[in-house]
Structure 1
């Protein structure tokens, strides 16, 4: 009789994010755990999709994406990221940023290659690294500053290290890489011949005047960097699964080969919708940081008043809050106690750390409307009283 599972998934588990979402649904709670924005997509995005479906744009597209979408992405990269990329040779449209990340690992790394992963990390990055047969090599960032230090990167390098993953703005921390951080990565990557893989899915969600910097735009990093981003978060279309990878031509060709074999192509009508929405003046991207900053301030003030000290994020729409003062044995116990006492779901910090540091934190997502956030903040106060 066949075995029930392959050995490659023997050490993988369901994401704590999925598990907490299911627990929250069972009690009809407020889900501040999973990164599910409940804001509506901008009108150009919605209308573009409807128009594409009505025009029967429903067949396979080229595996690397519709030419008009790749051209729109190239214009966006030049305008917003200071990256010049030939849309015909350097851009691959993917099934979400996760599809871009998986295709990049499989296309450019060999089994057993080491991948530096600054910590706290996004859990899907870790599990995709494991599933692809690579070795995660953790680089703990000092808390609470989350400073990226050259000596820490160098200390984590092993003989098999071949790549580093950067997430900016970061999930779960909201940390944004500065030019000095990126120049530090450039020195290390050049010295050790490392591939640099960036996840910039939250690039338009930045606060307090912080400017997003794409690592591929700095120095010589463009020659060794795969830039990954997408539209799920900025346009509130997480279920559409549209992302992209930008890389030097030979790398992009390899990534597209895997993308074709695994996914064939991203959804055709949604690609068409995004091609028109990216250039639309009313697509909402320009005001996105302002739209989310008041949400960040609201949740951080609420967490502080409930006795949970937040690590105030510079970007993205998550916040880590220190709950170590409540006396729970670990972050999972604290998260389920929070759900039981207040009806608000958060993710255990242990989902984002290899070290015990994660047991101090819960992660909250604040991509919610005002009424939901107000209600959540009010209910969180019951945790202190409990």
Structure 2
């Protein structure tokens, strides 16, 4: 038989999802794949039951239901001050995963270059390869995960077509400051580069840090594609609802790609989520407070166990330094921790372009009792895993 496509040979399966399978195999607490173990807000569940008896069971408009796009546009305007025309500049996708892929395929051609900050969410590298583009990695340097503006400009000098910006960042929880974003914006305009933003965690920010939408900076709306998801903000990761917002010329391309990738997102869920998109500001304040509390609970627990970690400014992930355990390979550590300790994490090397084996990533989007149980199991980690 003829050879299969070469594309998929250049990346592995998702390490994050692989760790979920290992977690199930060993019956460990899954702090690897970032989904909550608690329900969405009751208002959403109530509306979902109502929609089941209404007429939303056939195809919606491919680019998204009219009222869903309107609600998304209104929310974006409220929080960012940037208006996107729901009729021509907003596209509903099957999660932010498809939003990123459709955006990449709309902007890049085979042979183009794309700048990616490292560490990075694993999909970005695969998306670039699937588009036939070449990634240029710019390091975010631990422990603060700041970047060197000169190194970034050297990347821009290589002639990239686009830059991917995850803000707040998965896996390190970095929140890019307004000054850092202004540096990125300056270089994007200077070198005529598109910026594809992944802003899934826009509402999970820890004081005193603030989220700045890149498209709100002068001259950036026309060259920014905003990608996001409703999964994390409303605790509905299984619904697979995402979206893009971009100028009409770019959105025209995104919509064509989206149409042939997935046709469209689930119509009943699009109707249901409008309820959440119209939540008052108090919902987002409570969300931020709740995740701040969970962060403090889990990180103070790590501190009490004498385990080193970074201090995330946003999102709901933390990188734990495993240097003291004597492992040469963080994947071996993550496997042993799932099997022997009963807690699953993601080996940090899956997020870094650099040769980095010091970290594993936990997420803390779990019930308090789940986090407490995980910390209790981890109280034996030094005895069970130290070499």
Q: Deviations over 1:319-373 (max 9, x none)?
A: 111111111012112112222231000000001001112x000000110001100
Q: Aligned partners of 2:293 and 2:190: how far apart in 1?
A: 42
Q: Alpha carbons of 1:283 and 1:270: their partners in 2 closer, same or farther (altered >3 Å)?
A: farther
* Contact persistence 1:139–1:152 (CA under 8 A): yes
Which residue does the alignment assign to 2:65? 66
SS at match of 1:234: coil
State how 1:297-316 maps to structure 2 within 5 Å: 297-316=296-315
Shift of 1:285: 2.8
Which residue does the alignment assign to 1:226? 225
Q: Deviations over 1:20-74 (max 9, x none)?
A: 1111101111000011211211122212222222103011111110110111011
Q: Aligned partners of 2:179 and 2:69: how far apart in 1?
A: 31
SS at match of 2:315: coil
Q: Aligned partners of 2:48 and 2:136: how far apart in 1?
A: 41
1:99 and 2:101 are equivalent in the alignment: no
Q: Aligned partners of 2:110 and 2:155: how far apart in 1?
A: 19
Q: Aligned partners of 1:290 and 1:277: how far apart in 2?
A: 18
SS at match of 2:117: strand
Q: Aligned partners of 1:105 and 1:282: how far apart in 2?
A: 32
Which residue does the alignment assign to 2:381? 383
1:185 and 2:154 are equivalent in the alignment: no
State how 1:158-173 maps to structure 2 within 5 Å: 159-173=158-172
* Contact persistence 2:102–2:257 (CA under 8 A): yes
Which residue does the alignment assign to 2:360? 362
Shift of 1:160: 4.1
Q: Aligned partners of 2:108 and 2:74: how far apart in 1?
A: 29
Which residue does the alignment assign to 2:132? 133
SS at match of 2:91: strand
- Residues paired across the two proteins, number: 384
Which residue does the alignment assign to 1:257? 256
Shift of 1:209: 2.9
Which residue does the alignment assign to 1:110? 109
* Contact persistence 1:341–1:382 (CA under 8 A): no
1:46 and 2:49 are equivalent in the alignment: no
Which residue does the alignment assign to 2:10? 11
Q: Aligned partners of 1:239 and 1:302: how far apart in 2?
A: 29
* Contact persistence 1:112–1:160 (CA under 8 A): no
SS at match of 1:83: coil
Shift of 1:86: 1.0
SS at match of 1:338: helix
Shift of 1:282: 8.8
Q: Aligned partners of 1:155 and 1:296: how far apart in 2?
A: 36
* Contact persistence 1:149–1:181 (CA under 8 A): no
SS at match of 1:183: helix
* Contact persistence 1:150–1:188 (CA under 8 A): no
Which residue does the alignment assign to 1:215? 214
TM-score for both structures, normalised by structure 1: 0.96
Which residue does the alignment assign to 1:206? 205
* Contact persistence 2:177–2:212 (CA under 8 A): yes
Q: Deviations over 1:209-265 (max 9, x none)?
A: 322111101111111000111100111111101000000110011101111111111
Which residue does the alignment assign to 1:237? 236
Shift of 1:135: 0.8
Q: Structure 1 unaligned runs (5+)?
A: none
TM-score for both structures, normalised by structure 2: 0.96
SS at match of 1:21: helix
Shift of 1:134: 1.2
* Contact persistence 1:114–1:158 (CA under 8 A): no
Q: Aligned partners of 2:337 and 2:306: how far apart in 1?
A: 12
Q: Alpha carbons of 1:134 and 1:283: their partners in 2 closer, same or farther (altered >3 Å)?
A: farther
Shift of 1:148: 2.9
Shift of 1:158: 5.1
